[in-house]
Amino acid sequence: MKKSIITFQNYPSIRSFSAIAGKKESDGNMGKYFDRIEEDPYFGQKNWEQAETEMQSQTLNLALQKGAMTMQDIDCITAGDLINQCTVSTFAARGTDVPFLGMYGACSTMAETLLTSGILIDGGYCQNVAAVTSSHFSTAERQFRFPLSYGGQRTPTAQWTCTASGAVVVSAEKGFPRLEGGCIGRICDLGVKDATNMGAAMSPAAADTIFRYLTESRTPPEHYDAIVTGDLGNIGSPLLIELLQKQGIDISAVHQDCGSMMFDENQQDTHAGGSGCGCSASILCAYFLPKLQDGTMKRILFCATGALLSAMSAQQGETIPAICHLVEISGSMA
Amino acid sequence: MKKSIITFQNYPSIRSFSAIAGKKESDGNMGKYFDRIEEDPYFGQKNWEQAETEMQSQTLNLALQKGAMTMQDIDCITAGDLINQCTVSTFAARGTDVPFLGMYGACSTMAETLLTSGILIDGGYCQNVAAVTSSHFSTAERQFRFPLSYGGQRTPTAQWTCTASGAVVVSAEKGFPRLEGGCIGRICDLGVKDATNMGAAMSPAAADTIFRYLTESRTPPEHYDAIVTGDLGNIGSPLLIELLQKQGIDISAVHQDCGSMMFDENQQDTHAGGSGCGCSASILCAYFLPKLQDGTMKRILFCATGALLSAMSAQQGETIPAICHLVEISGSMA
């Protein structure tokens, strides 16, 4: 079999990270872990898109601040989001004077930017690279689904786009947590057409990437404290477990899904869980990276998943292709 | 000054390339150079988005065919386009079973994917990587501007989105043309708000990147047979020359712009020239790479430019940020 995973030789470190989330997210299971909560969904701006831009910008600045860095220490920003033409990320980066690589991987963006940042560091092209992404309930809802004021009913399989952002500074400095390697996702499309059931559409992509990584790295699932998927949610997660079991791999003991972790199922009406680029990005930065830093966890696979549809592709009757990028991250105790 | 350019150590080669364009483009100055012309704007499909997807897919397959390769030889596809959520590129790549990195750089995409492909090869992460992009007049027109049937009048500064696609296979095999290095663009926004004058919006980004590259590499403009910009067109090109002249650099003797090259100004009603990801991508693959291959040219800078706006950002009164990524390509006679 052709090698399709990436193994870093120089172990890019995670020098700093931060997560900012909105009010509803702060009321969920992850509420106490975020660096900052913003009660105002407009983030002090005039429209939703500006709000998300402001959130993403604040998150990167907070990561710099936490790492005692300034924008001048950053050689490149890798970023993306869900909004048409990725304007949230480009608008957040304008004015920074930092070289910028725009990426599109839908909700897989945090893993795509993190892996790309790792490559830029590991290959010796940069000293410090920021990987950033975000999502906002209101920008996503009105772009992909309904006008906000319409108040459309949500199906039981629907997920709730999180208002959240995560930023990671990957560095050539030695340290922990660090990136061990990763896997660039392949596009999988098993024919799901229901745009309100993205967990089902994304689970085959997650299975494909995780299978390739575990097989090629010759590591069993138990080698990791957690195999973290992006936002498969309550519908997609059991499908992932089942798909991998059919291939002889049982990740059920170590699997955690950010979409399922975000909200309180009993108290919050979010149906199949959270979604959006910011969902897995903020939980990585708020929950998992601190655990790798303090030694509570030794090693995780961060596997963010993205559904590569658009409002138009859904209207044109297309099925939903999906992708899952993976990054292996280890802590100081690994 | 902090180093901000990339110099490749292992010289990724360009193993194969191809360009496909539409009927109107075939009637322009570049018509005789394209590998294939498609007279049917639908490319045999049912809607414009499927047409562009089919074009991009055909272009990559043609590049593989020209290089006596199959999809199995490709370790990664890097691709992007102008359409919301980059569905053209992801839909073109589904079914290929090849790892995929989605990128968004608007019309700078060919340089962004080419540079990223170079990094993946130069750093030893892959053996063969495809860089692909496309644009289609009808998908762009109805998404960014007006319904096609409306037949809106175009301003004198407007550019014509090209129906065209380019694909390059970058390889670890030694050979020519080869990638010498490049420069990741920074986002520049001098406050242009007119979405029908993207040349003006993009010229500062081109000036910034070209200035950084020439200064840091300590090469004069005459070191290159051509400094090729993406799609500044007839309005943006003189602005670029002027901006660089103010910084003491005169590129006028070697500057060529794909937007200005594409159409016949006297015979075709395209106002300020061509634009779209496919404009510079197809001209790179149809015109410049063959000249580097046969020794007519020794060395070029390929500087694709992108305007990072969306229909919504324009409606919300935002100014237009822009970016320009650069790749230095040399031929066998360099």
Q: What is the length of chain B?
A: 334
Query: How confident is the model over A112-145, as pLDDT tens digits?
Result: 999 999 999 999 999 999 999 999 999 999 999 8
| Overall average pLDDT of the A205-229 stretch | 98
Of residues B225 and B269, more confidence is placed in B225
- Decide if pLDDT at B334 tops 80: no
Q: What is the pLDDT of residue A146?
A: 86
Does the beta-carbon distance from A122 to B124 stay under 8 Å? no
Query: How confident is the model over A70-79, as pLDDT tens digits?
Result: 999 999 999 9
Query: How confident is the model over A275-333, as pLDDT tens digits?
Result: 999 999 999 999 999 999 999 999 999 999 999 999 999 999 999 999 999 999 999 87
A93 chain-B contacts, CB cut-off 8 A: 187
Q: What is the pLDDT of residue A332?
A: 84
Does the beta-carbon distance from B309 to A87 stay under 8 Å? yes
- Decide if pLDDT at A1 tops 60: no
Q: Which of B100, B183, B185 sits opposite A184 (nearest CB)?
A: B100
Query: How confident is the model over B112-138, as pLDDT tens digits?
Result: 999 999 999 999 999 999 999 999 999
Query: How confident is the model over B308-318, as pLDDT tens digits?
Result: 999 999 999 99
In Å, how far are A81, A321, A327, A329 from A7, measured between CA atoms? Answer: 26, 27, 10, 11
Q: What is the pLDDT of residue B256?
A: 98
3-state secondary structure chain B: CCCCEEECCCCCEEEEEEEEEEHHHHCCCCHHHCCEEECCCCCCCCCHHHHHHHHHHHHHHHHHHHCCCCHHHCCEEEEECCCHHHHHHHHHHCCCCCEEEEECCHHHHHHHHHHHHHHHHHCCCCCEEEEEEEECHHHHHHHHCCCHHHCCCCCCCCCEECCEEEEEEEECCCCCCEEEEEECCECECCCCCCCCCHHHHHHHHHHHHHHHHHHHHCCCHHHCCEEEECCCHHHHHHHHHHHHHHCCCCCCCCEEEHHHHHCCCCCCCCCCCEECHHHHHHHHHHHHHHHHHHCCCCEEEEEEEEECCCHHHHHCCCCCCEEEEEEEEECCCC
ipTM of the predicted structure? Answer: 0.97
Q: Which of A2, A85, A313 sits opposite B87 (nearest CB)?
A: A313
On whether any CB of chain A is under 8 Å from the CB of B180, the answer is no
On whether any CB of chain A is under 8 Å from the CB of B116, the answer is yes
Does the beta-carbon distance from B187 to A93 stay under 8 Å? yes
pLDDT band, very low/low/confident/very high, at A148 (cuts 50, 70, 90) = confident
Please report how many Cα atoms fall inside a 13 Å half-sphere around the Cα of residue A277, on the Cβ side: 34
**A12-46 burial, b if ≥16 CB within 10 A, otherwise e?**
bbbbbbbbbbbebbbebbbbebbbeebeebebeee
- Decide if pLDDT at B291 tops 60: yes
- Decide if pLDDT at A179 tops 60: yes
Query: How confident is the model over B157-198, as pLDDT tens digits?
Result: 999 999 999 999 999 999 999 999 999 999 999 999 998 999
On whether any CB of chain B is under 8 Å from the CB of A125, the answer is yes
Measure A74 CA to nearest chain B CA, in Å. 10
% of chain B residues with pLDDT over 70 = 100
Pairs across A and B, CB distance < 8 A: 162
Q: What is the pLDDT of residue B1?
A: 57
Measure A304 CA to nearest chain B CA, in Å. 13
Q: What is the pLDDT of residue B2?
A: 73
B5 chain-A contacts, CB cut-off 8 A: none
Does the beta-carbon distance from B101 to A112 stay under 8 Å? yes
Distance CA B11, CA B9 (A): 6
Contact B307, B232 (CB under 8 A): no
Distance CA A86, CA B85 (A): 8
- Decide if pLDDT at B333 tops 80: no
Structure pTM?
0.98
Measure B91 CA to nearest chain A CA, in Å. 7
- Picking from B184, B208, B316, B318 by the largest number of A CB atoms within 10 A of its own CB, the best residue to mutate is B184
Residue of A nearest to B102 (CA): A104
User: Helix, strand, or coil here: A255?
Assistant: strand
On whether any CB of chain B is under 8 Å from the CB of A215, the answer is no
- Picking from B85, B88, B190, B309 by the largest number of A CB atoms within 10 A of its own CB, the best residue to mutate is B85
Query: How confident is the model over A229-249, as pLDDT tens digits?
Result: 999 999 999 999 999 999 999
The mean pLDDT of chain A is: 96
Residue of A nearest to B323 (CA): A100
Does the beta-carbon distance from B49 to A95 stay under 8 Å? no
On whether any CB of chain A is under 8 Å from the CB of B316, the answer is yes
Q: Which of B83, B94, B187 sits opposite A189 (nearest CB)?
A: B94
Measure A296 CA to nearest chain B CA, in Å. 31
A12: tokens are 């890019």
Distance CA A308, CA A82 (A): 10
Residue of B20, B138, B5, B134 lying closest to B77 (CA atoms): B134
Does the beta-carbon distance from A313 to B85 stay under 8 Å? yes
Query: How confident is the model over B74-109, as pLDDT tens digits?
Result: 999 999 999 999 999 999 999 899 999 999 999 999
Q: What is the pLDDT of residue A305?
A: 98
Please report how many Cα atoms fall inside a 13 Å half-sphere around the Cα of residue A119, on the Cβ side: 28
Query: How confident is the model over B210-246, as pLDDT tens digits?
Result: 999 999 999 999 999 999 999 999 999 999 999 999 9
Does the beta-carbon distance from B104 to A104 stay under 8 Å? yes
Q: What is the pLDDT of residue A334?
A: 72
Measure B250 CA to nearest chain A CA, in Å. 24
Residue of B nearest to A187 (CA): B94
Residues 6+ apart with CB under 8 A from A104: A80, A86, B80, B85, B86, B102, B103, B104
Measure B129 CA to nearest chain A CA, in Å. 12
Residue of B nearest to A99 (CA): B186
Q: What is the pLDDT of residue A17?
A: 98
Q: Which of B91, B119, B184 sits opposite A99 (nearest CB)?
A: B184
Does the beta-carbon distance from B6 to A310 stay under 8 Å? no
A312 chain-B contacts, CB cut-off 8 A: 49, 83-84, 87
Q: ω before B220 within 30° of 0 (cis)?
A: no
Does the beta-carbon distance from A184 to B101 stay under 8 Å? yes
Query: How confident is the model over B16-69, as pLDDT tens digits?
Result: 999 999 999 999 999 999 999 999 999 999 999 999 999 999 999 999 999 999
Q: Which residue has the tokens 């699932």?
A: A221
On whether any CB of chain A is under 8 Å from the CB of B216, the answer is no
Does the beta-carbon distance from A308 to B102 stay under 8 Å? yes
A304 chain-B contacts, CB cut-off 8 A: none
Name residues 71-110 of chain A within 8 A of B (Cβ): 72, 75-76, 80, 82-87, 90-91, 93-106
